[in-house]
Amino acid sequence: MKRPNSTPGEGLTRGRQAIDHLDRELVRLLAERMEAVQEIADFKRQNPDAPLRDDGRERELFEVWSREAVGKGLSGYFAGRVLREILNWSRREQERQLRPKADEAGVGTVRVGFQGVPACYSDLAITKLFETRDHAGLERQGFRSFEAAVDALEAGEVDYALLPIENTIAGSINEVYDLLARRNVTIVGEEILDVEHCLVALPGTKLEDVRVVRSHPVALQQCGEFLDNLVGAVAESYHDTAGAARSIAVEKAVDVAAIASEESAQHYGLTVLKRRVHDQRENMTRFLLIAREPEAFDQRHPSKTSLLLSVNHRQGALLACLQAFADQGVNLTKLESRPQAGTPWEYLFYLDIEGRVNEPAVATALEELRAHTNRLKVLGSYPRCVSVDGAVPVSTPKSAANGLHSANGANGANGANGANGAAATSMPKVPAAPKKNKALKLAGPREDGSRTRVRVGNVEIGGTEFVLMSGPCAVESREQVLEAAAMVKACGARILRGGAFKPRSSPYSFQGLGFEGLDMLREAGRAYEMPVVTEVLRIEDASRIAERADMMQVGARNMQNFALLRELGRLDRPVLLKRGMSATIDEVLMAAEYIMDAGNNQVILCERGIRTFETATRATLDVSAVPVLKSRTHLPVIVDPSHAAGVRDLVLPLALAATAAGADGLIVEAHPRPAEALCDKDQALTREDLEELIHALRPIVAAQGRTSSF
């Protein structure tokens, strides 16, 4: 009620003064409350068994606040919203206190890369996220693209990269998923940012003046309805939301507006023409904090693990993978498919699950997954961003069973394949091995005795079909490799081999044609509908070779090049691993373990002869290695008789012996004119030799109950 002798203006002034005083009191009380929160955090830090959250206590607080609010004539819902935000920041403060302190961890100024310019949404998310991460200082560096930010991270120019991964309106940001699949980085945190898109422009610009609206393509997508109703204006893609706002300020364009945050408008001296122009009321973006190495965090914190996998190309494999989570009670919160580059109609799957990789249930589920996957990569285990009521802000399935239902649909729609990555074949039974290497967590035999089948293009190795791989030692010319491909195809070979990069004992010998030769090999393979395999020598070349070859070969000299093995483990290509010239059975299996531990389960072992005191042959073919390996691993085993023999006349009998011993296939060298070959001419088979080999193989393969293409 207005006081006597007071004017309306005086009442407004007194009201605002009262609000200013109360606001200061609210801030003071919030600061006191956070001090009490820090005491609770100190207690929890000193008592690791104390729970991080007390759900009962939080429910009581909501009841008290609601009751008190109603008693004061306020809305209980309004009071609950305020309390929820207070509790969220109280929880975040406790999490910060439970992390290692900056001086304890040796943390100095933290450098964070992001895509965009100052005041963009990624920049705002950095501010929010690092409020709960201890640091001595924070430096931000904007990049024009997501890839450039990850490049800087891998080069050590920044300590972290913060990248958006999905939005509640626009969905997933596929470019970021592709980067996570290809790069050697890990997820260490996440943040959820409420996004309020505003239409911003130069001061004085009116809504009816706008003829162009600039913004990032994802932001334009989120505001489609608004843009459709903005008469006379067209959308224009820009690399960043805040960058679009900055461009208007620089150009002083009076008929151009940007869709960006209110903070970016303030930063670049613009005005807001309209708020909340996005199509849906709830507009949230999930960001991932990316680092070079995993980071430890308090085990009491709710956690999430992100995975990438590709399944075996058989019916039901995706369902079997998801069933592994259901069997262990692991909650699946996200499942999404992406096409695999270079392999039409096959898919990579991205999954988020609740829990850490070192939790028993998660670890068991991941172990079961390996029987059904070609590739399994843990993208990271990290603290899960949750609201105070425990709900994940981004809409997710509530149970592993829900994930199974959506997985069935994905499997049917995408043709995603595979049931048991390892159906037993009708091969002669192999006696139990005399010993078992307990270090073989991935490459060792499975309890159910099942065996892995590796798919190379349209050819499956390790199943019921006996597979012949053949071709020249080296790719010498386009004409030579095309002629060789025609020859081996006509004789029944299923996979074309050829060396583009040649590791030679003498520096003066032919070293191969490199990537030019690889392109010729690929052309020949496509011309005669054969997948191709070639050797990789250097880590630097691995990803480029994987783009062209269907299978990558690790030669005997590189069997224990562990850095190379790990790099191949990060790629989604089958790997043909040759036994080293002086390697034991266990050593070749441990080499396979390196590849599989890095995420690639598509490994084929190859016996190619070992160095002994005998000099009658180039190497001594260890035929016994075939049944021994079969008993000690679930991986396919093939044999290379060419490098063991070193001379043409011995290749055939050694090949027959290896086949009779139970090999899943052979890889033999063949050349249209061996006398003209630039390397290994003495062991290369002619067309007549290949035909003789095929004729002799048929009864052996048939006696084992296997099929073949010859």
Show which residues are catalytic: 285, 287
Return the residue matching tokens 């048929």. 698
- Report which DSSP code applies to 670: B
Within the chain, what is the greatest distance between any pair of CA atoms?
A: 120
Helices 625-632 and 585-597 cross at an angle (nearest 10°) of 40
β strands within 269-425, DSSP E: 271-274, 284-291, 303-311, 332-339, 347-354, 373-383
| 316: three-class secondary structure by DSSP | coil
β-pair partners for 551 = 533
CA distance 566 to 542: 11
Q: Measuring CA to CA, how many Å separate 300 from each of 48, 263, 390, 550? A: 8, 35, 14, 44
- Report which DSSP code applies to 208: G
E strand or H helix at 553, and its extent? strand 551-554
Q: Is 3 exposed, middle or buried (0-12, 13-18, 19+ CB in 10 A)?
A: exposed
Distant-in-sequence, close-in-space partners of 112: CB < 8 Å, separation ≥ 6: 126, 130, 138, 139, 140, 141, 158, 159, 160, 161, 162
CA distance 589 to 510: 31
| 454: three-class secondary structure by DSSP | strand
Please give the full DSSP string across 134-190, using - where no structure is assigned.
--SEEEEEEESSHHHHHHHHHTTS-SEEEEEEEETTTEE-HHHHHHHHHSS-EEEEE
228-266 in b/e burial notation, b at 16+ Cβ within 10 A?
eebeebebeebbbbbbbbbbbbeeebbebbbbbbebbbe
Here the tokens at position 45 are 């830090």
Q: How far is CA 214 from the centre of its chain?
A: 32
- Report which DSSP code applies to 444: S
CA distance 651 to 692: 11
Q: Is 397 exposed, middle or buried (0-12, 13-18, 19+ CB in 10 A)?
A: middle
CA distance 211 to 482: 58
| 495: three-class secondary structure by DSSP | strand
Nearest to 350 by CA among 385, 376, 383: 376
- Report which DSSP code applies to 622: -
CA distance 641 to 654: 6
Distant-in-sequence, close-in-space partners of 241: CB < 8 Å, separation ≥ 6: 116, 120, 121, 197, 215, 216, 219, 258, 259, 260, 261, 264
β strands within 478-531, DSSP E: 495-497
Q: What's the angle, vertex CA 563, arms to CA 557 and CA 565, rounded to 5?
A: 65
